[in-house]
Structure 1
């Protein structure tokens, strides 16, 4: 069951933003490209078939099973557990990106209410998302945005998705929430690389989210050199089980000595 986001009735320090303000913020964040994109506009099933309510992707086992099968085919694996893991991590990144981007860049909380958001299957790349109605909330005190942002993305989107994935394919909860944390880190580091002026703020908000609810204890964010961050998770996404797959940079299975060498090399290449 999809939880009703608490931001829709406002909350401490949250005030409704005008549609124009929301649209401008979303357009700016979408310009970051890739997973940050969010289309604003009506969905016409006659002119553009294929759009489906986001709620189907989060809670319908048949839809999720089909997406896992599609992912398995694209990855070339017969292990549905691996495909389910990679699918969940990709969707987590997709949901984090526009929400985190708006929060960091514009002090705006956007509410991806599943009943208003549509998705469409594509052969590759980030999942297309479109909505004709998007509520946004101005944040008077940015220090208080962590809780509402967590409830918007984790409680409202990822928890129901995780429940459905686990109904379709037996998957360890720790694996899925490690994936959600890894996707979050990838999102705020990507935002900082694209917009260096926002990097420190993105990392600070990311750290707070990593210490919240189901994300707490999923991994550790290290800073071996100033401004140079690395995440080490406490679970494995199973990517190494794919044909030609290896260990991800944040994988718990990486030898500590190898990890330190990677950190030193990366820090040296950055001149720090």
Structure 2
């Protein structure tokens, strides 16, 4: 089978810039969109420092709390532009080779953006899943503290459905495609069995907890398995 013709870097960049207009976690610039000095620290080192900062902010010394919260936020920053580009532009962007933006929790690509045509991939759902699963696994292999695997899987699922719900509200005309892709992704790889969609607008109940409740300044997330709803 012939390899599908890849969209140009310019086309992928245009798609990423368009979905960045949705705000927040949908922003994922490439090197052509950035200026200034590049960070010397590795992506993994940057993650560890951000996890420690979360612990300081929430007043806890339990290292796995910070690790889980930053992991959850990072998953949302991966899923959001990925889902939006796939559904709205038919492009699955390549999310390898990431770096932190300065001292923030934002991320960017280390190179000009690349991607593949969603409609021509033999298994588009798995291809989308792998774009998030691979960088998360790479980071998880470097964690200095043990965090339950299913907790991390639940983080990825929670971020997926949360990102999809935001996209659904922003682009209601894409409702069917957003819901279908989200449900399909929850049946792939480590996302299987992590939780259930509980409503038509992608409300979600996960089967694990991100541990935020364990911090003195924390609380429970809306999809937490420990909440009473």
Fold match by TM threshold 0.5 = yes
RMSD of aligned Cα (Å) = 2.4
Counterpart in the other structure of 1:48: 36
Cα separation, 2, equivalents of 1:65 and 1:228: 34
Larger strand fraction of residues: 1
Cα separation, 1, equivalents of 2:52 and 2:23: 27
Structure 2 SS opposite 1:164: coil
> 1:142, CA displacement in angstroms?
7.7
* Counterpart check, 1:159 vs 2:159: no
* Counterpart check, 1:19 vs 2:2: no
Contact 1:122 1:128 in 2 (8 A): no
Structure 2 SS opposite 1:16: coil
> 1:130, CA displacement in angstroms?
4.0
Cα separation, 1, equivalents of 2:201 and 2:185: 19
Pick which of 198-207 and 212-221 moved more: 198-207
Cα separation, 2, equivalents of 1:67 and 1:179: 17
> 1:88, CA displacement in angstroms?
0.5
Contact 2:206 2:223 in 1 (8 A): yes
Compare CA radii of gyration and give the structure with the larger one: 1
* Counterpart check, 1:132 vs 2:111: yes
Runs of 4+ in 1 over 6 A off after TM superposition: none
> 1:143, CA displacement in angstroms?
8.6
Counterpart in the other structure of 2:169: 193
> 1:52, CA displacement in angstroms?
4.7
| Alpha-carbon distance change, 14 to 243 in structure 1, aligned in 2, over 3 angstroms | farther
Choose the corresponding residue for 2:183, options 193, 207, 214: 207
Q: Deviations over 1:118-173 (max 9, x none)?
A: 322435xx51414432211112358941011111211x2111112222xx111111
| Alpha-carbon distance change, 163 to 213 in structure 1, aligned in 2, over 3 angstroms | same
| Alpha-carbon distance change, 140 to 26 in structure 1, aligned in 2, over 3 angstroms | same
TM-score scaled by length of structure 2: 0.90
Q: Tell me, which stretches of 5 or more residues in structure 1 are unaligned? A: 1-10, 260-272
| Alpha-carbon distance change, 219 to 132 in structure 1, aligned in 2, over 3 angstroms | same
Contact 1:102 1:108 in 2 (8 A): yes
Cα separation, 2, equivalents of 1:63 and 1:40: 18
* Counterpart check, 1:239 vs 2:212: yes
